[in-house]
A and B are shown apart, each in its own frame.
Chain A
Amino acid sequence: MKIAIASGKGGTGKTTVAVNLYYFLSRELDNRVKLVDCDVEEPNDMLFLNNTELTEKKDVVTLVPKIVTKKCTFCKKCSDWCEFNAISIVKALKFAEVRNDLCHSCGACSVACEFGAITEHAQPLGNISKYKTDFGSGVIEGRLEIGSAMQTSLIKEVKKSVDLSEDLILLDAPPGTSCPVVETVSDADFIILVTEPTPFGLHDLQLTVDLIRELKIPFGVIVNKAGLGNNEVFRYLEQQNIELIGTIPYSRDYASAYSKGELLTTISDEIAGYYESAVQRIIQIKQSA
């Protein structure tokens, strides 16, 4: 089963919740849980795991086109086919160039060109690392090349590298509601949305709920940092008939431990209790799936 952990707003505690669920679910499910960090622009899950061991690391490349001006007739077909405005052709100046930073590596231009004027070249996209952790079945992390805007392509590759026979796969999604999020959650069996009880948290949660409903994937919400802000988010969940899977109270001590990377080493009994009850509900969801 695949469960994605997403949030509309950044900073609601998506990583915190993902890492904690990985920990508590691993205990309950005999370590048959994999954590996949799909937040490739800033993969943070590994910061909070101790005693880890890198077992595999591979570079991922993407193909970008280059135009051989000698063979180019400046017919513009490739440029017309390009959905991303990445190709500029000016016949009068014998100018034909591809902007790599706009290219989405779809390959349409190569198909369009009838003159063999387009060649494809590998460009770094990022890397995928696999780690052994001292509980669970390990972490897979995608890390995007700095400057690249091709998150979605890398997330696709990260997901391909996951062994699907795993009992439970947790996909930690990027924040927001754009393509990388859709790519991460689109084939999940269930989505956990992490929010915080603030006006911003609620606003972005609503956007994400709209997205997930469009994708027709069952979902529930974990409210993190409860006690901050107001009660509007709880009212919204009730009105919309959305399941509240868990509530994690705001704790200054916990936030301070987080800032030192001690997320899992200093869990108070109180916080642990809240996670354990959320985990019981997730296991029920998993069994009924």
Chain B
Amino acid sequence: MKTIITSTGDNLASKFDLRFGRAGWFCLFDRTTKSIDFIENSFKNTNGGAGTKTSEMAAKLGASQVISGDFGPKAKTMLEKFNIQMIILNESELSVQDVINQINQN
């Protein structure tokens, strides 16, 4: 199962990004294989539709879960359509590694 963690940068030491549509990077973490990939969010500076497009990206990446600080209304409806679970984590001080550690502990 693949989980996307929104990240401000391209490595595990980067801070967790509280934004979804406007997140800098997506960390794609595979719980089964433990593989980790960082994908840049090319829609972070788009004028409109960032939430829609990033949701589409999440679906293409095959994620079944997204962890972020919050989800906008457009992102919410799209992620629901794609049957991707949204997990809200309101902790801006965590690094992506911290979030992965939490997942692994659960």
Residues of A bordering B, CB below 8 Å? 84-86, 88-90, 92-93, 95, 97, 99, 101-102
Chain B 39-56, CB-CB to A under 8 Å as 1, else 0, gives: 000010011111011011
Q: Is the CB of B52 within 8 A of A88?
A: yes
In the bound complex, CA of A97 to CA of B62 (Å): 18
Q: Give the chain B neighbours of A101 by CB distance below 8 A.
A: 74
- Which residue of B has the minimal Cβ distance to A103? B49
| Most chain A CB inside 10 Å of its own CB: which residue of B47, B52, B62 | B52
Q: Do residues B48 and A90 form an inter-chain contact, with CB atoms below 8 A?
A: no
CB-defined A-B contacts under 8 Å, sample of 30: A84-B48, A84-B49, A85-B46, A85-B48, A85-B49, A85-B52, A85-B53, A86-B49, A86-B52, A88-B52, A88-B55, A88-B56, A88-B78, A89-B56, A90-B60, A90-B82, A92-B59, A92-B60, A92-B62, A93-B59, A93-B82, A95-B59, A95-B81, A95-B82, A97-B81, A99-B52, A99-B74, A101-B74, A102-B48, A102-B49
Q: How far is the CB of B53 from chain A (nearest CB, A)?
A: 5
10 new A-B pairs (CB below 8 Å) besides A92-B59, A99-B52? A85-B52, A85-B53, A88-B53, A90-B82, A92-B60, A92-B62, A93-B82, A95-B81, A102-B48, A102-B52
Measured CA separation A86–B48 after assembly (Å): 9
C-alpha spacing A37/B8, complex, angstroms:
45
Bound complex: CA A201 to CA B55 (Å)? 41
User: Is the beta-carbon distance between A99 and B60 smaller than 8 angstroms?
Assistant: no
A99 neighbours in B (Cβ, 8 Å)? 49, 52, 74
Complexed CA–CA distance, A92 and B62 (Å): 9
Q: Which residues of A contact B50 (CB under 8 A)?
A: 85
- Number of residues from B at the complex interface, CB < 8 A: 17
CA of A92 to CA of B47, assembled, Å: 27
Residues of chain A lying within 8 A (CB to CB) of residue B52? 85-86, 88, 99, 102
For residue B14, give the distance in angstroms from its CB to the closest CB of chain A.
25
**Could you tell me the distance in whole angstroms from the C-beta of A104 to the nearest C-beta in chain B?**
10
A contact residues around B59 at 8 Å (CB):
90, 92-93, 95
- Least CB distance from A185 to B in Å reads 22
Alpha-carbon separation in the docked complex, A99 to B73 (Å): 12
Contact of B43 among A84, A85, A86 (CB under 8 A): A85
- Which of A85, A86, A93 is most buried by chain B, counting CB atoms within 10 A of its CB? A85
Residues of B within 8 A of A92 (CB): 59-60, 62
A89 CA to B82 CA in the complex, in Å? 11
Smallest beta-carbon distance A90→chain B, Å: 5
Q: CB-CB < 8 A to A88: which residues of B?
A: 52-53, 55-56, 78
CA distance A101 to B77 in the complex (A): 13
Q: What 0/1 pattern do residues 70 to 81 of B give for CB contact below 8 A with A? A: 000010001001
In angstroms, how far is the closest chain B Cβ from the Cβ of A94?
A: 11
Whole-angstrom distance between the alpha carbons of A84 and B52 in the complex? Answer: 11
Q: Which residue of B lies closest to A90 (CB)?
A: B59
B52 CB → nearest A CB, Å: 6
In the complex, what's the smallest C-beta–C-beta distance from A182 to chain B, in angstroms?
Answer: 16
Complex interface: chain A residues within 8 A of B81 (CB):
95, 97
